[in-house]
Amino acid sequence: MADGFKDKLIATKQAWARAGRLLTGTTGDPETDRLPPGQRLVENWPVLDLGIQPDVPKADWRLTIDGAVDNPVTWDWDAFMAQPQAEDVSDIHCVTQWSRYDNRWTGVSTRHVIDLVKPTPQAAHVVFHSYDGYTTNVSLAAFAEEDCLIAHSHDGVPIGREHGGPARLIIPRYYLWKSAKWVKHIEFLAADQPGFWEVRGYHNVGDPWLEQRYG
């Protein structure tokens, strides 16, 4: 059943990309426009996934960070929680048109990750791999923004399984599909490697203010 849902979802979203669904043809400025073009504000937190919500107990959870780095690491949950903890408040914007303001995240900042693993001079891109087989990509510069983190809590409570817990990426500058749920592997690369939706018609960058929904 999950495979059937996934296949139908992929076909639907690829059709959206071909048709340019939801595009308004306008652009915004994040310095002056809090709500990106074509978005609508919600107060709830909609659940979107590929029809699979991995159940990863904290005792079994592992996060490997490697690739073009000098100091690869693998954390279990205790090691992850032993890292310096950061908190940030940010807005999130989903490509399906909803936005949610003032989300309070707690987790490990991506800048701490970079300082720890020490990317090589060749490293320019980062790919996230998830427990459900999902992948997505960002530039190293985007990964290093000060509001990005590997989050385990949202608004003061642990992130639930349906939203990508026990830990997920938060890259608030881009559409939320870039903020991989159920993260298990962060890979630094010299060459770009488009992810699951990027090879299925979605934009490679995903800037909401430029309406980069589709490629």
Q: How confident is the model at residue 177 (pLDDT cuts 50, 70, 90)?
A: very high
DSSP-based three-state secondary structure for 151: strand
Portion of the chain with pLDDT greater than 90, in percent: 86
CATH 3.30.56.10 is right for the domain spanning 2-210: no
Measure the CA–CA gap between 33 and 85, rounded to whole angstroms: 30
Contact 157, 110 (CB under 8 A): no
Q: How confident is the model at residue 2 (pLDDT cuts 50, 70, 90)?
A: low
Total count of residues recorded for the chain: 215
Measure the CA–CA gap between 29 and 33, rounded to whole angstroms: 5
The answer on pLDDT for 28 being more than 50 is: yes
Residue ranges covered by each domain of the chain:
2-210
Half-sphere exposure of 60 (CA within 13 A, CB side): 7
The answer on pLDDT for 6 being more than 90 is: no
| Residue 138 pLDDT | 98
Burial class (CB in 10 A: 0-12, 13-18, 19+), 156: exposed
Q: What is the mean pLDDT of the chain?
A: 94
Token pair of 205 as six digits: 């960058």
| Residue 1 pLDDT | 42
Measure the CA–CA gap between 63 and 110, rounded to whole angstroms: 13
Digit-coded pLDDT (tens) for 131-174 = 999 999 999 999 999 999 999 999 999 999 999 999 999 999 99
Element (H, E) at 16: helix 2-19
| Residue 148 pLDDT | 98
Q: How confident is the model at residue 190 (pLDDT cuts 50, 70, 90)?
A: very high
| Residue 139 pLDDT | 98
Q: What pTM was computed for the model?
A: 0.93
Query: Checking phi first, is residue 133 left (phi over 0); if not, alpha (psi -120 to 50) or beta?
Result: left
Q: Which of 54, 61, 103 is nearest to 81 (CA)?
A: 61
Measure the CA–CA gap between 31 and 26, rounded to whole angstroms: 16
Token pair of 155 as six digits: 């608004």
| Residue 5 pLDDT | 62
